């Protein structure tokens, strides 16, 4: 989906419409992989094939106002944001990292955070972040095994584990074939990036594998609504850019 803006009464509102391609990739050992589509159907086939319960699915979030958010089935377990990496964002990211290194955050030990060391792997990392805290919805299989192995490890050790995992690599390869009419090359530079928002111990966390640590956005009572507030800030940093996507992990209405 791409964010389209309209300005009723001079007030910007954000609406989201389907897009064609995105960044979801995985490599195995020293082999890089092409990004695969972020379309909801491909994402759901990918995770359901890895053992995620069909009672749960990724669903499109068409807008960030309260009326649009109320259409999403509850409870929401995670929110994924696909956004463009721009000069404005990179400047903000560097300033944020510098600030947080000087001011220690409270990070719950229940948060499972993966560092991204694989090019074009932000989609896979985003999906893992959305599921690792809710592995009770994942049946026994390669994904469940990966999450269980990852939990006691450090973020960097989790990244190494992911690089060597063969089960996800095989599933990714098939998803890459299914998700693109003309798949991009393995070395293609993708300037769109996936991050994930989760709710742990009544706090909202932003999980971005490009960052050295999770971001604690403070106390939260509603994952979807509070994530939308943070996502609005992403959009405000690049008000002319339309490449924003929001997807929620929620009860599957088609099951």
Query: Would you please indicate which residues are annotated as catalytic (active-site) residues?
Result: 122, 193
- 204 Rama sector, left if φ>0, alpha if ψ -120 to 50, beta otherwise: beta
C-alpha Rg value of the chain to the nearest Å: 17
3-class DSSP state of 187: coil
Closest C-alpha among 48, 209, 42 to residue 122: 209
**Which residue from 24, 15, 245 is spatially nearest to 129, judged by alpha carbons?**
24
Closest CA to 108 of 195, 199, 198, 201: 201
Contact (CB, 8 A) for 204 and 228 = no
């Amino acid at each position: 989906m791409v964010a389209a803006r309209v300005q009723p009464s001079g007030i910007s509102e954000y609406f989201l419409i389907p897009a064609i391609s995105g960044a979801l990739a995985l490599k195995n050992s020293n082999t890089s992989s092409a990004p695969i589509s972020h379309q909801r159907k491909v994402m759901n086939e990918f995770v359901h094939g890895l053992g995620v319960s069909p009672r749960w699915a990724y669903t499109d979030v068409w807008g960030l106002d309260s009326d649009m958010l109320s259409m999403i089935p509850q409870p929401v377990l995670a929110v994924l944001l696909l956004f463009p990496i721009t000069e404005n964002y990179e400047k903000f990211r560097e300033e944020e990292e510098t600030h947080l290194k000087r001011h220690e955050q409270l990070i719950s030990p229940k948060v499972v955070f993966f560092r991204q060391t694989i090019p074009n792997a932000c989609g896979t990392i985003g999906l893992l972040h959305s599921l690792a805290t809710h592995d009770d919805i994942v049946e026994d299989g390669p994904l469940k095994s990966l999450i269980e192995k990852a939990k006691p490890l450090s973020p960097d050790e989790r990244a190494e584990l992911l690089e060597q995992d063969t089960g996800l690599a095989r599933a990714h390869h098939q998803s890459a074939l299914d998700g693109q009419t003309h798949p991009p090359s393995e070395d293609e530079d993708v300037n769109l990036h996936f991050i994930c928002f989760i709710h742990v111990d009544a706090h909202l966390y932003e999980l971005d594998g490009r960052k050295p640590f999770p971001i604690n956005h403070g106390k939260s009572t509603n994952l979807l609504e509070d994530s939308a507030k943070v996502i609005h800030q992403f959009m405000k940093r690049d008000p002319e850019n339309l490449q924003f996507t929001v997807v929620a992990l929620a009860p599957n209405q088609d099951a």
